[in-house]
Amino acid sequence: MRWTIYVDIDAFYVSCELRDRPELAGTPVIVGPDPKLGRTRGVVLSASYEARAFGVHSAQPVAQADRLCPAATWLPADFRKYGRISEEVRAYLAPRGDRAQPLSIDEVALELADVDQPTAEARAREIQQGLRSELRLPASLGVATDRTVAKIASDRAKPGGIVTVPPDQIAAFLAPLSVRAIPGVGPKTAERLAVAGITTIADFRRAPPGRLRAVVGGFSHELIRLAEGHPLPRSTADEAGPRSRSAARTLVEDIDAAPELRAVLEELSAELTRSLREEGLTFQTVTVGVRWSDFTRTQRGRTLRAMARTEGTLAAEAARLWAAIWAEEGLPQHRRVRTLSITASHLTPGGPSARSLEMFVDDGPRAPPHRAARTERPP
DNA sequence: TCTGGGGTCCTAGGACCC
DNA sequence: TCTGGGGTCCTAGGACCC
């Protein structure tokens, strides 16, 4: 039988920092911009379980976390370090299963083909101990014959535990859980389900399918199957490279000064161009996003006629899109800007063929490549 | 006391094509 | 005068995840 061991590092950023600061183990530690060092609009990125006991949690505004837990040690985030350690975890796990699929910076689904349950459980224990002793990282593990169930199990195992769900117990394991336990069911979906009388996974089996479909659309089939204990295997395809790259900046204060905003946009263009170049990615679509002072968002994008990779193209397109947003929604409504972002998408890895590069093709009117191709092949 | 940054996927309408 | 069915891509917005 095929088993999945879902590995989730506990309080990942904090645990990475504790490797360098072992004296802080067992104390409240928060990774994020220290509110005592000045005004910031940041949020908690990761909190130790000792800090969580005070009500601190990730994505919480740092001022609020500071009030809840004034004794916490604050550490600045070091994403390069976390990326390196994430690679260590992947390298540790890869030889311990038949397939190791990274699903985020701190999660890996490890597949074991043709093993029985005792073997899978023993492997999970070895891995947990090895991560602890060799990488000095605490982990929670879920063990199941389905990846989604294994992930849900790893959530129930936190912190530092292992939860196994045998295949004939999937439905019973899931039944009492909140619909929020399912990856993909967030606050909005949970609220709409609650209005329809669905709060636990067991309720999916009782709800009229038509009603469920009206709330969650095509997701309903998958949810019913999950509640019945026959989860659909998630597609394990893709791995086709990144879909988008972006850069964003939240301003210290909301502003409506056009020259300053243009300057921020140029900085973002330069940053994004740099990271695309480092990865050897070319882009074809540019999107500018604005978060206004009321926290609503507007975005505008355009697909270019050809692949591009230069800062000039990115900056010019971003400036055009920004000007349109500002003229239509900023100026006339006297709105102020909180956050600006630029996203590059329709990415292509490696060097594109010279033929398709912007330097050989004028950036003409918008016309996606497939249409250009079709004109070369008359019906 | 507010609410980061970097991502992914889905939906719905319109344009366009056969 | 009325008006197919199936498909792809673009765009904007929304929800969700870590």
What distance separates the 2 farthest-apart alpha carbons in chain A? Answer: 73
Q: Which two tokens stand for residue A256?
A: 């409506």
Residue A332 makes CB contacts below 8 A (sequence gap 6+) with none
Model confidence band, residue A34 (pLDDT cutoffs 50, 70, 90)? very high
- Axis-axis angle for helices A209-216, A187-195 (nearest 10): 150
Model confidence band, residue A375 (pLDDT cutoffs 50, 70, 90)? very low
- In 3D space, the residue among A181, A128, A121, A170 whose CA is nearest the CA of residue A146 turns out to be A170
Task: Give the Cα separation of A118 and A3 in Å (integer).
Answer: 11
Where is mean pLDDT largest: A202-211, A226-235, A316-325?
A: A316-325
> A166 versus A375: which is more confidently predicted?
A166
Tell me, what's the pLDDT at A127?
98
- In 3D space, the residue among A301, A285, A299 whose CA is nearest the CA of residue A243 turns out to be A285
In this complex, the answer to whether residue A215 has its CB under 7 A from any atom of chain B, a nucleic strand, is: no
Task: Encode burial over A55-94: b for 16+ CB neighbours within 10 A, e otherwise.
Answer: ebebebebeebbebbeebbbbebeeeebeebbeebeebbe
Tell me whether the omega of the peptide bond preceding residue A166 falls within 30 degrees of 0, making it cis.
Answer: no
pTM here is 0.89
Strand C footprint, Cβ within 7 Å: A 12, 59, 104-107, 182-190, 285, 287, 296-303, 346, 366, 368-370
Residue A62 makes CB contacts below 8 A (sequence gap 6+) with A30, A32, A33, A34, A35, A40, A42, A43, A44
Of A17, A50, A107, A358, which residue is the catalytic one?
Answer: A107
Q: A299 CA to C13 C1', in Å?
A: 8
Tell me, what's the pLDDT at A239?
64
- In 3D space, the residue among A302, A270, A280, A288 whose CA is nearest the CA of residue A348 turns out to be A280
Q: Which nucleotides on chain C have any atom < 7 A from a protein Cβ?
A: 8-18
Q: A305 CA to C10 C1', in Å?
A: 12
Q: Which helix (H) or strand (E) holds A379?
A: none
In chain A, which ranges are continuous DSSP H helix?
Answer: 12-20, 49-52, 62-68, 79-93, 117-134, 147-156, 170-174, 187-195, 203-206, 209-216, 219-227, 258-279, 311-325, 369-375
Q: A379 CA to B7 C1', in Å?
A: 40
- With distances taken from each CA to the C1' atom of nucleotide C14, the closest residue turns out to be A188
Residue A335 makes CB contacts below 8 A (sequence gap 6+) with A256, A292, A293, A294, A329
Q: Which nucleotides on chain B have any atom < 7 A from a protein Cβ?
A: 1-12, 16-18
* Res. A233: pLDDT tops 90: no
> Percentage of chain A surpassing pLDDT 90?
79
Q: A325 CA to B13 C1', in Å?
A: 21
* Res. A367: pLDDT tops 50: no
Tell me, what's the pLDDT at A353?
45
Model confidence band, residue A299 (pLDDT cutoffs 50, 70, 90)? very high
- With distances taken from each CA to the C1' atom of nucleotide B5, the closest residue turns out to be A248
A107 is catalytic: yes
- In 3D space, the residue among A320, A319, A311 whose CA is nearest the CA of residue A274 turns out to be A311
Task: Please give residues of chain A from 284 to 343 whose alpha-adjacent beta carbon (CB) lies under 7 Å from any atom of strand B.
Answer: 294-295, 338-339, 341
Q: A379 CA to C4 C1', in Å?
A: 20
Tallying the residues shown for chain A, one arrives at 379
- In 3D space, the residue among A133, A75, A83 whose CA is nearest the CA of residue A104 turns out to be A83
Burial of residue A218 (CB within 10 Å: 0-12, 13-18, 19+) is: exposed
- Axis-axis angle for helices A258-279, A311-325 (nearest 10): 140
- With distances taken from each CA to the C1' atom of nucleotide C10, the closest residue turns out to be A303
In this complex, the answer to whether residue A373 has its CB under 7 A from any atom of chain B, a nucleic strand, is: no
Q: A379 CA to C6 C1', in Å?
A: 18
